[in-house]
Amino acid sequence: PKTANVLRDGVETTVPVEEVSVGDLFVVRPGESIPVDGEVVEGTSAVDESALTGESIPVDKEPGSRVSGATINASGFLKCRATRVGQDTTISQIIQMVEDAAATKAPIAKIADKVSGVFVPVVIVIAVITGGVWLAAGNAFGFALARAISVLVISCPCALGLATPVAIMVGNGLSARHGILFKTAASLEAAGRVRTVVLDKTGTITEGKPHVTDIICADGVSEDQLLQAAGALEGPSEHPLARAIVNHMTDRLPEGTCIANASEFKALPGAGVEGVIAGHKAWGGNAALMKEKKLLSRAMEQRGAELAREGKTPLYFAYENQLLGIIAVADVVKEDSAAAIRELQHMGIEVIMLTGDNGRTAAAIARETGVDGVVSDVLPQEKEAVIRSLSERGSVAMVGDGINDAPALTRADVGIAIGAGADVAIDAADVVLMKSSLMDVVRSIRISRQVIRNIHQNLFWAFIYNIIGIPLAAGLWYVLGGPLLNPMFGAAAMSLSSFCVVSNALRLNLFKPESTITDGVWKRKAEKNPLPESEYTNVNNFAGEPENDIIEETTGGTIMKKTLTIEGMMCKHCQAHAEKALNAMEGVTATVDLEAASAYCEVEEGVTDEMLKAAIAEAGYEVTAIQ
């Protein structure tokens, strides 16, 4: 943000953000960006923090809540007190990290530069030796000079000099026609050497905005009744979840139909909304609100918990003391994300999801898309640290779109930004995907690999040409009874070699960087523990895409899905400690949800409930139920 609306002497004044001081009061209206880090002193709202945290669902704010600069106020009016300004804000610290990472990133050496540095002096030495040998053998000076000149002419390094830049130029043009922009020749060259692709979740794998995914009606209630009540209740609300329900409702209705809003509408911060529909009270919100109204049945509560485990946000609706049902809202996966991930894996590339979103949502998206691993609940600086660690194992590409991805994009060997993302992410990246499709990540790597292959072909033929041509120009074949090369023919041969190199590079225009596998033909190879658990306590790896409670393995055994209810966890540290204890067990993959006080486990045959309880007890907590 460039400006801030500051309250000074009770008067609201718009000032440059640089003039905001710690302790100043500032106001933020719906749709505006929060200028600096601060604390809410008045008002309630939902703030979109996805640019910084990766959390796709806006976070509710009330007096006492902290807000960060560069996040967006999505609904209500907020009055805040500035706590960190200037270089101390979260966004400024991220910018500093981007600059630091850029300063330490090593440039990629060009093959042709290394070859030319050796080739030219070697050829000059060969030419001098050739002339000297022929003179020493008693030949005329003109004959010896002609042989030396032939060596210099036929070995002119034009073909070597053209091998790399022409291929890169054609490759850049090819990628641009597919909506892929490589900022430098180094990034085009580096993309083909990537062995690990790290994907951000929100806005990269997913759409980045909530959509209605499930509609569950209570007994005796029709879907139309539930949607009409939900649409009337959520119509006056500016909350993004409410907008998702209203948009879904609008899409279902005939064009031009209006949704009647509830009267006496009232927002219930942290719980939901209430209003009056046709003279009767109605409510919409979370499970806690329904429990307070004593309207939530055990069956519907369990169904909502299942939706939550799938990474969705269940919203309950009631009318006239009757629960109508649940509408689940979630940030949905893009249509081509799963296919793109399968393509990358088919190419021998490990795919990891790195997100600031919560572990439950990340695990659900990971299962749906089939990534090899996921790291969740990470801050921007932690994303950068994960990329730095992964880089020690091989070349890494980071794909992201938010401000929070910028440090990781810069630290990665190849940073790839989604074109619809934040400006700072696009600026930090080496490659920009204009169509915002993950399939273009596949295309960019394929184009890069093809360009590298073309460069190697050009260098090979340039070398073969010189290996054959230099002895011929020097007169070695003449000594063995062969022909003697005229310097003019040497010049023509040199030109022909350059022509061949350029023609080979132009063949890149015929390359089609499309899919090489067919859905249903190729099955992804499972890989256990692609990331070192000793470094990441919140890594969850998925060996398949479970659809049922029991998943048969190729070994003939089974994997069971179990839910553990855990008591004693108080904070994120407790969550990580319990999760680490479960994942340390052989044959167990677990995700722990602090809010639900539950652990969601996939256990192999032979792992008993007693073993799970013992692991949690050793970590200092208690398992009260296992389902």
Active-site residues, by number, are: 200
Helix 359-369 and helix 298-309: axis angle, to 10°?
A: 70
The answer to whether the CB of 47 falls within 8 A of the CB of 67 is: yes
- Smallest CA-to-CA distance from 376 within 541, 584, 595, 598 is with 541
Tokens of 272: 């939901």
Q: What's the CA gap between 284 and 279, in Å, rounded?
A: 16
Beta bridge partners of 441: none
Residue 104's identity, in one-letter code, is: T
The answer to whether the CB of 160 falls within 8 A of the CB of 462 is: yes
What Rg value do the Cα atoms of the chain yield, rounded? 32
The answer to whether the CB of 275 falls within 8 A of the CB of 265 is: yes
C-beta atoms surrounding 171 within 10 Å: 27
Burial of 371 (0-12, 13-18, 19+ CB in 10 A): buried
25-28: strand order across its sheet: 11-16, 3-8, 25-28, 78-84, 37-42, 66-67
- Backbone region of residue 325 per phi and psi (left: phi > 0; alpha: psi in -120 to 50; beta: other values): left
- Smallest CA-to-CA distance from 515 within 445, 431, 451, 455 is with 445
Q: Between the CA of residue 86 and those of 23, 72, 325, 381, 423, what are the distances in Å?
A: 13, 18, 48, 18, 19
Tokens of 371: 């990534």
Q: What's the CA gap between 342 and 439, in Å, rounded?
A: 10
- Smallest CA-to-CA distance from 447 within 188, 203, 146 is with 188
